[in-house]
Structures are given as C-alpha cells and as structure tokens.
C-alpha cells in the first residue's frame, strides 16, 4: 500500500506537498552556507596568526607554539600527548583486528 503523496514504489509524486518542506530545506542550506563561510574566515585568520612572526623569538608563531608544547610535554606530559603529536604528524597508524585487539604502530623518521 502506497503512502499518501507517494507512488507504488515509495517515491514522491509530482506536485506532492506532503512530507516535503522545500522552504525549510532552503533555509537549512542557507544556514549551512553561512556557517561554512564563517568557518573559512576563522580558519584564514588562524592560519595568518600562526604564520606571523613571534616578536619575542623572531620565529613563526607556529614554531614557537610547537616548541613550548614539546617542552611542556617533557615536564608534565602524558602518553596521550605523544599520541596526539604522532597523529598530527601522520606518524600514527592504528590497526584493529577482529578479536578486538588494538595495535598502535609508531613509524617515526619515515620508517
């Protein structure tokens, strides 16, 4: 039995107004486009800030941040910090076999 406003295969019939709200869909598309635009603006500002020169060290801000992060990790870091850094560098691969065992393989130095 076909639902009201649909054909025998369950597709919407031409001119159907039931179950479809194009105004809401258009609204959501506009909201999503605006959100993507805002995210691009924030991402661009962040990139510019990270690629600016640090006045204290004369290095790029991202280099200074990375050095400070590594120094903090040496003193009070955790294995999770190492995992995050390896993941960012693309040096972390994870394998899960069907028995539920997890194998974390670090491949530092392009090995």
Q: Above 80 in pLDDT, residue 18?
A: no
Instruction: Map out the domains of the chain as residue ranges.
Output: 20-50, 61-111
pLDDT score for 38: 96
30-65 confidence digits (pLDDT tens): 999 999 999 999 999 999 999 999 888 899 999 988
CA dihedral 45, 47, 50, 51 (to 10 degrees): -110
CA 70 to chain centre: 23
pLDDT score for 17: 65
């Amino acid at each position: 039995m076909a639902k009201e406003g649909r054909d025998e295969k369950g597709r919407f019939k031409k001119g159907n107004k039931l179950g479809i709200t194009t105004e809401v869909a258009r609204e959501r598309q506009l909201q999503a486009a605006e959100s993507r635009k805002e995210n691009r603006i924030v991402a661009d500002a962040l990139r510019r800030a990270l690629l600016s020169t640090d006045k204290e060290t004369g290095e790029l801000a991202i280099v200074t941040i990375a050095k400070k992060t590594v120094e903090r990790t040496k003193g009070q870091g955790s294995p999770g910090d190492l995992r995050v850094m390896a993941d960012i560098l693309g040096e972390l691969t994870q394998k899960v076999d069907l028995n539920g065992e997890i194998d974390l393989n670090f491949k530092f130095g392009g090995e």
